[in-house]
Amino acid sequence: MSFTATRRHWKDFGSHLEVRKHFLEITRAVRSSTLDLGRTHYALALAIGVWEAICCGYGEIAAVEMGVASGNGLLSLCKAAHFFRESMGIDIRVYGFDNATGLPTVDGYRDHPELWEQGDFLMPDPERLRRKLPPFAELIIGDIADTVASFQTTLRERKLAFAAIDVDLYSSTLACFQMLEWAPECYLPVVPFYFDDMEEFFPYNEWCGEELAIREFNDAHPRRKFQRHPRYNIRHFFGLHILDHKMRTGEERPLFPLRISGI
């Protein structure tokens, strides 16, 4: 049996309990496969971002995939975003960043040269992928170290509400993390994150790759912290806690308390 979502505009919820009921119906349907929103870990993490955005009173948000390759992940993210746009009127735009030339230079033990080679995961045809994207999605081609700065203009207008990091290398993950250095107004109070490159392969460890980049980021940023949230039972799910966000310092109140749980 397939799930039919009740249409409800995000501005029409009257309490955090109403928002919660609505989102738990959706996330249960995703988990039981009666609602197909593409990759479960993207759909559930994005659902948390949308739920939180509604509680904050933010109607314009951004979701991003760093590392796109053939585009399966990006299209999956678009499918989930389309659902929330159509059923709740929330204005989500989706962004994919990739160089289209495959992995850049693999530089030293931190980039896992025992796993990856320059040129792995080449994007076969960027224009073909662009044609498959819905109008609310954008593919940004170039080395992320060069292109990510332009994303600040976007995040001044819409809050970052989900990010999937899938660039394989420590060095490329650091490039992605430039987008976490901006004003607190660019983000939700906690941004849901998916990190692809951990645990699966035996050589992964906390002194290399994404795990090292996360640890170094946390050490260097007293008011921005990644924390893993295993109780949510979503694959490789983290929150980036924006501790200098005005809703974390108490300078601003959310519309509804961010009592997001039970997913």
In the complex, the residues that contact ligand SAM under the rule CB under 6 A are 65, 67-69, 72-73, 98-99, 102-104, 121, 123, 143-145, 166-169, 172, 175
What's the closest the beta carbon of residue 238 comes to ligand SAM, in angstroms? 16
- 27/172 with CB nearer ligand SAM: 172
What's the closest the beta carbon of residue 200 comes to ligand SAM, in angstroms? 11
- 51/194 with CB nearer ligand SAM: 194
- 15/72 with CB nearer ligand SAM: 72
DSSP notation for 14-38: -SHHHHHHHHHHHHHHHHTTSS--S
Q: 79 Cβ partners below 8 Å, 6+ apart?
A: 36, 37, 38, 43
Q: Residue 228 CB: number of other CB atoms within 10 A? A: 14
As a whole number of Å, the CA-based R_g of the chain is 18
- 49/67 with CB nearer ligand SAM: 67
Residue type, 66: M
How far is residue 233's CA from residue 149's CA, in Å, rounded to a whole number? 32
How far is residue 95's CA from residue 77's CA, in Å, rounded to a whole number? 9
What's the closest the beta carbon of residue 221 comes to ligand SAM, in angstroms? 21
What's the closest the beta carbon of residue 106 comes to ligand SAM, in angstroms? 10
What's the closest the beta carbon of residue 50 comes to ligand SAM, in angstroms? 21
- 27/99 with CB nearer ligand SAM: 99
CA-based torsion, 232, 235, 241, 247: positive or negative:
negative
What's the closest the beta carbon of residue 169 comes to ligand SAM, in angstroms? 6
- 12/117 with CB nearer ligand SAM: 117
- 60/181 with CB nearer ligand SAM: 181
How far is residue 194's CA from residue 46's CA, in Å, rounded to a whole number? 10
DSSP code at position 187 = B
What's the closest the beta carbon of residue 177 comes to ligand SAM, in angstroms? 12
CA-based torsion, 235, 73, 86, 246: positive or negative:
positive
Beta strands in the chain (DSSP E): 60-66, 91-98, 137-141, 159-165, 190-195, 224-228, 237-242
